Structure 1
Amino acid sequence: DGELILQIHLMSAGRVRLLPAKEKGPKTPAFRLRFADGRQLVLTEGGPKKRAGVWLLRPGDVEAELAHLGPEAYGLGRERLREILARDSRRLHPLLRDQRALAGIGRAWSNEILHHARLSPFALSTQLDDEEVARLAEAMEAELERGLALREEGANDARTLRVHSRLGEPCYVCGTPLARVDYEEHTILYCPRCQTGGRLLKDRRLSRLLR
């Protein structure tokens, strides 16, 4: 009894939609919530790995449940971002996708943001100059805003993502084939010309580091 709060974690491939009353929606979503007026809130997840989740929380439990998350990335601002970058010397790609540092950016959007900002995924956070911090802040806002707008229109990944999952395709800015590099357990996509001065990055897989 009493008020409950719905918490949804999309992971990397989850998607939430609010469907009008007359729309049937997917047959087997990961989660479906039917409202009294006939509308449905549905969670679907692409790819073979099913990691998205839904939890019901009591209002008193919400603060503790979210305490480990960093500030919301969308609308963060340049100065707040500068503070986060200066805390520890970390490579940009793993820092951006670390929910304890910034909430709301996963692997795919880290690829999109760093490409937009023309920054190497391996650049160290504490070594960015003022102009690079400004570019990163602008790229975060622009890419997340673009992604949210396209998702509102019902766009899929093929329309939304311009770098992620496009290995070997031409960069939408300069035409150079997009490259990949493995870092720990993640695959990163980037443009060698726009982001690394023409240099191909070397793999840093966790399996190699443990040898």
Structure 2
Amino acid sequence: MAKRGYHHGNLRQALVDAALELIEAKGPEGFTLSEAAKQAGVTPAAVYRHFEGRADLIAEAARQGYEIFADVMQHAYDSGQPSALAAFEATGRAYLAFARKHPGHYIAMFESGVGVNRTPELAAAAARARGVLECAAEDLSRHIPPEKRPPAAMFSAHVWAMSHGVVELFARQAPGRASPFPPEELLESGIGIYLRGLGLIPPDG
């Protein structure tokens, strides 16, 4: 592999890119800082000019992941306008698409054990991503009969949990587990049942 990053004045990003590849190949606990340094084409000592340890390197990978994730979710939300329902459903599909397209980032964000509050920058990026889904939920919740209307944050948390569960169980090829249906169908049917229960979709819709 050609050395990259260091000779172009961007060692920090080269290390993040190396970490993402190693996370995808070996998991967040399956590599050392020395391996990341070697893959980036620098000495292990050079890593510590930018990161205090592996957790900080993974935290930066997660931060970048949340920034991409927020952009993907925002694009999905915008694509569904002006229909609040279409925008909301699009954000669920975007969750699956992100997990498939950016597995290294996804693992760093959700499976590494690095908390979103490890750095202020990571916390801010995670909040921006969460805010897109909450905004979509708030738009849609205005159409729910008042007596059935959950708080928008709860509404979005339900769909986030459903999306995350489908990804974890069926979209990331968990060992020994095969989905009986395409993950997109599982998610859309689950969201459909949920929205019918809230009165947002007619029983035969």
More helix by share: 2
Q: Could you state the TM-score of these two structures normalised by the residue count of structure 1?
A: 0.28
Higher relative contact order (CA 8 A, sep 6+): 2
Q: Could you state the TM-score of these two structures normalised by the residue count of structure 2?
A: 0.29
More strand by share: 1
